[in-house]
Amino acid sequence: MKRQADIVIVGAGIWGLSTAYHLAKAGTSRSIIVLERNTAVASETTRQAAGQIGQLRSHPLMANAVRYTLELLSNLKEVTGYDPELNRTGSLHLAQCDERVTSFEAQIDHACALGIAAELADGMLVEKLCPAIDAEAIKGALYVPDDGYVNAHSAAIALGRAVIDLGVKICLETEMTDLGLIDSAVDHVETTQGTIQTNCLVVTAGPWAGRIASMAGITFPIQPIRLQQARTVRDSELPEHHPVVRIPDQSCYLRPENGGYLFGMFDPDPLPIDPRALAAGFSTADIAPEKDLVDEARRRLAPIFPILEELEIAQYRQGMITCTPDAGYVVGPTPCIRGQWVATGCGGMGIAGSGAIGRWLANWIIDGDPGEDISIFAPPRFKGHDPEWLREECRHVCANYYALESVTYSLGQSGND
């Protein structure tokens, strides 16, 4: 027997689950099915994320999106009973050159205009907030006290449990394998567990969104790129929580995790990965760790965090961030296909914006309007792009994630995740 659903969401990472949550919370009587090819939700990119949620964004739309995500996650336990494990311990951006200190001053003005608390921190405050830091190794610091970090896996699981309570059906081990169209409108999806009749498909398949697009003969302007990080062993000297630390002059970040440190670096020569060109079952687990990059990150961080020299690596953690040439998301109705929606192109800020992604899509599907002008994320904005150009632009975005020009000019970045 064919199944039927008013809305089918493909992909149970944090974006698919946030979308399901906002759709179900809206209280319409629409039936919602979430398809996930794996045996568990949030087992791909979301599971790998550092979960850093920084509010300082060059574009007010992104700043508001992050603020909303923080609000959603801060209240989630009270509203649903499920704990996303959010820590509002703030963030510290450390400068190692005078230009960066000057950029911090400009960022404080920008933050102030956006209503975000931000201040310069002197060495004493830095060492008080993060005792493992050697403040002699830095030239200045920017402190954003209301930022935070979340256990991204726990947050997605919390949303997953909440949507089940709200009547959403999550179908695990169910891979979408094809799309059925009638007169360029969504009619059904084919899955490894049979056909599902639907007129509304939401593609939240992360780095695999390109595979779904190709089922309809279209492309999205995205390029998945490897991101590498590592977690150290525990150390009794380290506090359980402290602010996320970003060292943009080294392209590195670090935060506490499990009594040790989780740290990573934006690769200056990033590796593009194209799931469309790889075996159908290709997953995050197939990406080999790049240990040299971790060694390089540790070498760059050690002058500021001398303790890193002594801590062994407990886990290499790598995955793909799905980049776009302008560092903006890809969100909205798919051009040329009625009834298909997409949200991909997360970059390194997919957890940070996950709440807003779900809210925009739910508003748009239910009310015909995302609730604010998100046309800068329109899926067709690089229509007719040359794939090689796209790949190189995305590599450039990723390699320069923390570069000084990104702070001022790019859409979503400001050295925040």
Applying CB under 6 A, which residues contact ligand FAD? 10-16, 35-38, 43-46, 48-52, 175-176, 204-208, 212, 227, 229, 319-321, 346, 348-352, 417
> For residues 254 and 398, what is the distance between their CA atoms, to the nearest angstrom?
17
> For residues 147 and 56, what is the distance between their CA atoms, to the nearest angstrom?
9
Min CB(111)–ligand FAD separation in Å: 18
**Which residue's beta carbon is nearest to the bound ligand FAD?**
350
Of the pair 194, 306, the CB lying nearest ligand FAD is at 194
Contact 133, 304 (CB under 8 A): yes
Min CB(271)–ligand FAD separation in Å: 12
Contact 222, 210 (CB under 8 A): yes
Of the pair 123, 244, the CB lying nearest ligand FAD is at 244
Min CB(103)–ligand FAD separation in Å: 21
Q: 3 pairs with which residues across the strands?
A: 196
Of the pair 200, 227, the CB lying nearest ligand FAD is at 227
Of the pair 38, 406, the CB lying nearest ligand FAD is at 38
Angle at 285 between CA 351 and CA 240, to 5 degrees: 50
Min CB(191)–ligand FAD separation in Å: 7
Of the pair 140, 148, the CB lying nearest ligand FAD is at 148
Min CB(139)–ligand FAD separation in Å: 24
Min CB(187)–ligand FAD separation in Å: 17
CB crowding 273-302: b at 16 or more within 10 Å, else e = bbbbeeeeebbbeebebbeebbebbbebbe
> For residues 350 and 364, what is the distance between their CA atoms, to the nearest angstrom?
19
Of the pair 339, 348, the CB lying nearest ligand FAD is at 348
Q: At what angle do helices 60-80 and 152-165 cross, to 10 degrees?
A: 60
Q: Is 27 exposed, middle or buried (0-12, 13-18, 19+ CB in 10 A)?
A: exposed
